[in-house]
Amino acid sequence: MSGGKSARGSIDGLRSSAPLGEMLPAVFAEDQLAQHFVGGLDETLAPILNVLDCLDSYFTPALAPVDFTRWIGGWVGAEIEGTEPEDRLRVAVAAAAYLHRVRGTRHGLAEAIRLAFGVEPEISESGAADWSARPLGPFPGERRPRLHVTLRLPEPTSLDEYRLDSLVAAARPAHMPYTVLVTAAERKPEG
């Protein structure tokens, strides 16, 4: 929860899932003062009990409150900046553990960029893999490592290249020098 402010608050009329008045000894069952006193405690404890009753939902990005989902994103190291739409935020937080497993791979980089921007990137790199039935065959790929990412957005802004650069720097193979380019996507002719 950033900024010290929460989007959630108390809910008027929320009933406790475990009313304290029903748990009092029988001698207090008819005592109005005791019932009103614990009724006030029920009202105070109801939001806490509600959270505990629904705790598993708080750790499911599709169900958790948005502010909690953003906070969980920090826990799991999701690649979020704080301004993405709610649906993209939830998908990024849900995919964070998977993205950590594939981090440093071409697929992992492409997936991180797709989740952040909603567009498939164009990635070219110097690496390659090959096999040979005979030893001492030529090495695949290029001698110098390189990585280039092009992103074609419908309406690119000046911040998109900075954001892409930050994302590629974090998700690329550690030894790989890289360049990025953000351009406008070609518009399809109407008709």
**pLDDT at residue 4 tops 70:** no
For residue range 80-99, what is the model confidence (pLDDT) as tens digits?
A: 877 888 998 899 899 998 99
For residue range 165-184, what is the model confidence (pLDDT) as tens digits?
A: 998 998 888 888 999 999 99
Whether residue 167 contacts residue 116, with contact meaning beta carbons closer than 8 Å, is answered with yes
**pLDDT at residue 100 tops 60:** yes
What is the distance between the alpha carbons of residues 89 and 5, in angstroms, rounded to a whole number?
A: 19
From 12-21, 23-32, 118-127, the region with the lowest mean pLDDT: 12-21
Q: By C-alpha distance, which of 112, 33, 108 is closest to 80?
A: 112
**pLDDT at residue 37 tops 70:** yes
Check residues 35 and 9 and name the one with the higher pLDDT. 35
What percent of the chain lies above the pLDDT cut of 70?
A: 92
- Residue 190 has a pLDDT of 67
What is the distance between the alpha carbons of residues 13 and 32, in angstroms, rounded to a whole number?
A: 20
Phi, psi torsion values for 108, nearest 5 degrees:
-65, -40
Binning pLDDT at 50, 70 and 90, where does residue 189 land?
low
> Exposure of 32 by Cβ count < 10 A (0-12 exposed, 13-18 middle, 19+ buried)?
exposed
